Structure 1
C-alpha cells in the first residue's frame, strides 16, 4: 500500500497513523486514520484458493489548495497481474496531474481512466501478453465522494444502515452493454457465463487489446455528498461480491468498530462462504461528530436564568 502526499509542492499530509501487516505472501491487511479522526480506512487482501494473486489495491491521500484529497482503489486483474499492477502504479498519480482535477473532478476521472488505458496498452505493445483489469475507485474531495467503475469490482455505501451500490457491474448480458458491444460489431456468447467474443466475462476493462474495440475503459461515475448519514464505503473485487450480497457486506462492516477489522471480517466471510477467487476489499469509515442531546429540563432552567439576569438592574 502507498500513502502519497506529493500532489502539491508543499503538501499538508492528512494521515498521521498507518498500520500494515504482512502475515504471509498470500495475505495482507492494515489501515490508517486521518489527523482529525473523522476518517479511517482498513484493507484486507487474500489470495484465497487461486494459485496466483492478481488483485491490487491503492490508497493515496494529500492536501491540494487547502482541501483534503483521499483516493481508494481496487484493481482485479485477469489473464495476468500486469494491468492491475500498472493501475496501482499510475492511475491515481495520473488523476492528480490532470489540470481539471479540482475544478471538474468527474471529467478528470473519466479522461484519466481512458488515458491510463491507452498508456498501458502502449507500454505492452511489444508484449505477447493480453491481460486486463477492473478498477473500482472512490475519490473523496473535501466533502464530495466520486465513485468510478470499470468491470465487475464494486463499490457499496451504507447510508443510515441501508446498503446502496454506487457502481453497477459491467457484465456482457447487461442490456445496455450488450447493445453497445453488438453495435460495435462484437458478439456476446455463452461459455459457462456470458462472455464478450466467448472470452471475457466482463464488458469493460483496462487492457485486453484484442477485444479493445468492444471492451472499453470508459468508467461509469456516480457522486455522493458526504453527510452525517453516510457511514461507510466498501470497495471490493468480485471475489467478495460473488458470495456476499451488498446488504450482508454492509451489516458485517457496520458491526466492527475498526475499519481494518471490518475489511478482515469481510475477506474471511467470503472465503468461508466458498469464494474461489482472490479476495480484496477496502472499508472506509466516516466518524461524524456526534451531537450532544439537549436535556429539556436543563434547557428550561437555562432559559429561566437568562430571563432573570436580563431583568436585573445594577
Structure 2
C-alpha cells in the first residue's frame, strides 16, 4: 500500500494551487463554511487539513481520508484543491453561505483505485427546507456507489440504482422526524477515461470541450414539458407561485427527500456519458446559487482564466456573489492536463 503523502500547509497565497486559506475582505463576514471533503489514499494531497483515516475499507479499495477545510471563527468560507499523482487531473472547490441565513450546500470529492480502475467522484448537493438531506448525500451517496457490485462493470446502472436507494435510505432515516427537507445532486464520476454525469434537481454540470461550453445536465424544472407530463401523469399538478412549482410548493421536479411530494418528485437521475479525449479541458459543477446569475459560457470562460482550479472555483463563487446571487454558492472546477503528467514526487512514511 502506498504511504501517505506529506501535507503542505500554504496559507494566504492566492496564486498557488494548494492554498490553505485566503482572506476575502469584502465579503468575508457574509460567508460560512460548514463542509467536509474526503479523499482516498491514492491521491496526492497538497492542502493543509486535519485528517482522519478510515481503516474499514474493502479489499479492493484503499482506506478513506477525510479532509476538513479551515473555518473562520467569525464566519468564513471553505476552499481547497487536489491534484492526482500522475498530474493529469486537478480540482478546486469553493463554497460559502452568501446572503442566506444558513448554509445548506454540501459537496464531496473522492478518488481511489477500485478493481484496478482509477476512479474520481465529484458532487454538489444543494439542500432546501433544511440541510439534512444534502448532508446525508455527502455522507453516503459516493460511499454507497463505490460499494455497488456493478460500479465498475455497469457504472450507469450502478449510479441510477444508488441514487434511488440512497433516497430511500434518507427517507427511512427521517421517518420519525417532522422534517421534510430535500436536496439536489449533480455528480461527475470518472472511471478510467469515461465520464458519467448524473443529475437530480437544478444544480448543474458544464464541461468545456474544444473551447465550447456544453451542459451535461438539464435542470429539473416543473415547467419542463417532459417533467410536467410525468408529474401530471402521476396525479400531481404544476402551478405558478412566483415561479413554476410542483403542487405550488417545490420549484424543482426531481429531488432527494421531500417525502410529502415523493410520488411526483423522484430521485431518479438523468445520466450522460462522455469519453474523455484531448478536447476535454475542464468541467464545472455548481449549485444554482452560481447558475442563477452566471451563464454556462461565462462559467467556462471564468474557469479557463485561472490556471489553478482552486483559484478558478473561488473566482466563480465570488463572481456569483458580486452579481447578486441571493443563495448559497458552491462550485467545483476540475481541469484535465493531457500529456502533462508530473514525475512522482518523493513519498514519506
For residue 166 of structure 2, give the secondary structure of its aligned residue in structure 1. helix
In structure 2, how many angstroms separate the alpha carbons of the residues matched to 1:4 and 1:163?
Answer: 30
Q: 1:107 to 1:98 in 2, by over 3 A?
A: same
The residue number in structure 1 matching 2:347 is: none
> Partners of 1:23 and 1:285 in 2: how far apart?
28
Q: For 2:92, which of 25, 42, 47 is the aligned residue?
A: 42
Distance 2:308 2:58 in 1: 30
Aligned to 2:215: 165
Residue 2 of structure 1 aligns with which residue?
A: 38
1:76 corresponds to 2:126: yes
Q: Does 1:177 align with 2:227?
A: yes
How far did residue 65 of structure 1 move? 1.7
C-alpha root-mean-square deviation of aligned residues, in Å? 1.8
C-alpha separation between the residues in 1 aligned to 2:264 and 2:297?
32
CA distance in 2, matches of 1:14, 1:70: 13
State the alpha-carbon separation in 2 of the partners of residues 185 and 230 from structure 1. 42
**Secondary structure of the equivalent of 1:120?**
helix
TM-score normalised per structure 1: 0.89
For residue 26 of structure 1, report the CA deviation from its aligned partner. Answer: 4.0
* Superposition pairs of residues 215-294 of structure 1, within 5 angstroms: 215-289=265-339
**Between Structure 1 and Structure 2, how many residues are aligned?**
289
Between the aligned partners of 2:71 and 2:206, the Cα distance in structure 1 is 26
Structure 1 unmatched ranges of 5 or more:
291-314
Bigger CA radius of gyration: 1
The CA deviation at 1:58 is 0.3
The CA distance in 1 between the partners of 2:64 and 2:302, in whole Å, is: 27
In structure 2, list runs of 5 or more residues that go unmatched.
Answer: 1-36, 42-55, 341-349
Distance 1:73 1:253, change over 3 A: same
Residue 205 (structure 1) aligned with residue 241 (structure 2): no
Are 2:181 and 1:131 aligned? yes
Distance in 2, Cα, partners of 1:264 & 1:9:
37
TM-score of the pair, normalised by structure 2: 0.80
Structure 2 residue matching 1:62: 3-state secondary structure = strand
In structure 2, the partner of 1:22 is 71
